[in-house]
Structure 1
């Protein structure tokens, strides 16, 4: 499938010769805010879009999309910033009108408590820019490009109800920066419940598959054990969106352990990868029985305890991005290959898990993320690339990929991860009241 409405120029660039593709997969600390998502969307949507950061007083938490088309988009209007008050009694005071184009607001918190402040469309709630954690008595700048229309500042003090300031009319053409309607905790609860049910079914399948692996090891049939290992492991790898909820069970079942070169002498190395190491490094069935038994017991414990666990709805968007981000950092580097040579099969399972979660998030993303069809295209493309490395149930080991295949795979995963980044920020649950 070709990238819709993009043409050849949108095919992924090949990485530099002599090395792996440079995967743009930074994982920021802390919460991913909607302003950051809009900035990512702004960059992705087209070359005329810019993500501006306030110099100096703007601070690292000032996030604001801006639309461009010429030099003026990068240089907000002259004459200094518009001073705007942030407080429960005077939210938005100081701004009474403007002409469409770049705007700079100096937001000053005149209250006694920290607050977040959003610039919104009062009719839809869509956010054009935000500053979070604005301390009492401090001022930070917010820069946006606004089209003609109606806008209002919303002040969200800590431990108090949100207050929306007066509606301000901006004259001029309607073309402005991107905006997105916030996703709330309430929006994400049905997604979490549906994914919880899907994980429940997967824990049953995982238990059955792991029982087969244990039985093969117990009976001394190592060929059967090697055949049973991958199907069991892939079931678990498809469940990546729930790893945080698994707690210590994730370490017991699928902890990556030491570097593969150090696995022989490692202590407290258990789970799928410990069994994998033994099966593909000539260990006897007798030496693997305890490891297979501990793995099987951990899987049974997860299945039995899962009905009492509750997925955190706020983590789902983040996990939709981080599953393949971790794939790029682990499976595509060989870090988690302990002898089976099935890293690419694991990557395919991670892709499946990502798509499962995106299916549930799609109703929230459809009206908020204009690049969703393009993301779908790259997910399809990456799936076809990975499937090309499998034949008759066997997967090409990562270290046997030719240079061109490796470049194509790295590029596909890298582009897909980049397009997934806004999903994490858009689906970060936010206060609206």
Structure 2
């Protein structure tokens, strides 16, 4: 990769708080796997008493099915005649507690299939492709220790197994998160200096210089997207929009970069911008000074790699956050830089889990080139002025990259192992 990715060692992240995104598929090779791969948590069979109609729906796929018991005392029981190739395990929870179920390689811990939240008395299908090797079901009931079922040897396969990934633990992510937090600390120092330069230009009435200083400072902030959630209320104060403000751009609660952007590009006099600029400097300095005491959640590190550009797609490529500068694509480019930094942190884990890193690198470079093509003589084309062809190219590049980053989020999701 190029750019920030090569410069920064590693760490990651945006909105804080535990991830609520449900894992539904196991990902490998840089692509979400469909038929012939691992599918989990997609279909719910409901109660085991739903009768023939439901049984027919599950087995009409033409694949061999094996009924497997899920419980602390009989985890994996029922799988006595192993088959090779694509197949379905109908997992039945016969216990009194909800459970997660993984199909694993007991030697390495690699997961070939997973189902979350299998309720008592229900059954759900797990579709996998099995090649030669050893396998075992691991049952992880709520509020109880994990139980690994009997090891099963599969032989005689003519093809390879479907994808698998060794689970990532919180301990794996802690050093990467700490490294990223140090990177953010350096950015807060840089941000404070640039917002002070913006305020100084406004103080002396040089609005042309202020517009250039505004963009320079704002892009520093936009590269820090993986940490926004940890910023808490500071994020809204520094980079909030008019969303939810009854007075719109004239609301006294409208502060930060976008308040100053509106004034700079709507011919407000310097005197009216001194107050918002002074407050921005104050808020940024507080963020810089308080950041060493903050702690990011390692468990959401991989998810943030996807969420940064997801937010870019929703807010920047639609022009929703343009208050006059027309620099949404510059912001998108800064968000891409932030994503590279995050992936730089995650790369030690991805190298051993994701065979599609080369494709991901190519997609990152393609997206960067597509965005850079929208800058001419130091000026960025406003989103509203993109013709249809260029708009489609930008959306397509970011959209394709988002799909690959969803795989990163899945592979680096913290999984329970005990």
The reply to whether TM is greater than 0.5 is yes
The equivalent position to 1:36 in structure 2, one of 15, 25, 31, is 25
- Structure 2 partner of 1:153: 137
Trace 1:67-82 onto structure 2 (pairs within 5 A).
75-77=62-64, 81-82=65-66
Change (3 A) 1:198 1:176: same
- Structure 1 partner of 2:124: 140
- Tell me the CA shift for residue 39 of structure 1: 8.2
- Tell me the CA shift for residue 219 of structure 1: 2.1
Distance 2:324 2:132 in 1: 61
- Structure 1 partner of 2:71: 87
- Structure 1 partner of 2:182: 197
Residues 206-265 of structure 1 show CA distances to partners (whole Å, capped at 9, x for unaligned) of: 0000111111112222122111100100000000010111111110011122499x8444
Q: For the Cα contact (< 8 Å) 2:227–2:296, is it kept in 1?
A: yes
TM-score normalised per structure 2: 0.86
- Structure 1 partner of 2:156: 172
The equivalent position to 1:124 in structure 2, one of 89, 101, 108, is 108
Distance 2:190 2:326 in 1: 23
Distance 1:183 1:56 in 2: 25
- Structure 2 partner of 1:103: 87
Distance 1:37 1:206 in 2: 39
Distance 2:149 2:38 in 1: 25
Change (3 A) 1:119 1:322: same
Change (3 A) 1:398 1:405: same
Q: For the Cα contact (< 8 Å) 2:25–2:39, is it kept in 1?
A: no
Distance 1:41 1:392 in 2: 36
Residues 106-157 of structure 1 show CA distances to partners (whole Å, capped at 9, x for unaligned) of: 3222333221110111111111111111223333222222222211000112
- Structure 2 partner of 1:369: 354
Query: What's the secondary structure of 1:283's corresponding residue?
Result: coil
Q: For the Cα contact (< 8 Å) 1:32–1:425, is it kept in 2?
A: no
Is 1:162 the counterpart of 2:146? The answer is yes
Distance 2:26 2:203 in 1: 51
- Tell me the CA shift for residue 74 of structure 1: 5.4
Trace 1:240-389 onto structure 2 (pairs within 5 A).
240-258=225-243, 263-389=248-374
Query: What's the secondary structure of 1:99's corresponding residue?
Result: coil
- Tell me the CA shift for residue 104 of structure 1: 2.4
- Structure 2 partner of 1:16: none
Trace 1:383-422 onto structure 2 (pairs within 5 A).
383-422=368-407
Residues 14-40 of structure 1 show CA distances to partners (whole Å, capped at 9, x for unaligned) of: xxxxxxxxxxxxxxx92342x524289
Question: Highest relative contact order (Cα 8 Å, sep 6+), 1 or 2?
Answer: 2
Change (3 A) 1:140 1:245: same
- Tell me the CA shift for residue 293 of structure 1: 1.4
TM-score normalised per structure 1: 0.83
Q: For the Cα contact (< 8 Å) 1:234–1:346, is it kept in 2?
A: yes
- Tell me the CA shift for residue 272 of structure 1: 0.4
The equivalent position to 1:213 in structure 2, one of 193, 198, 204, is 198
- Tell me the CA shift for residue 320 of structure 1: 0.2
Q: For the Cα contact (< 8 Å) 1:73–1:145, is it kept in 2?
A: no
Q: For the Cα contact (< 8 Å) 1:154–1:164, is it kept in 2?
A: yes
Query: What's the secondary structure of 1:98's corresponding residue?
Result: coil
What is the aligned residue count?
388
Q: For the Cα contact (< 8 Å) 1:43–1:49, is it kept in 2?
A: no
- Tell me the CA shift for residue 394 of structure 1: 2.0
Q: For the Cα contact (< 8 Å) 2:102–2:138, is it kept in 1?
A: yes
CA RMSD, aligned part only? 2.6
- Tell me the CA shift for residue 351 of structure 1: 0.3
Q: For the Cα contact (< 8 Å) 1:218–1:285, is it kept in 2?
A: yes
Q: For the Cα contact (< 8 Å) 1:324–1:350, is it kept in 2?
A: yes
Q: Which moved more, 1:402-411 or 1:251-260?
A: 251-260
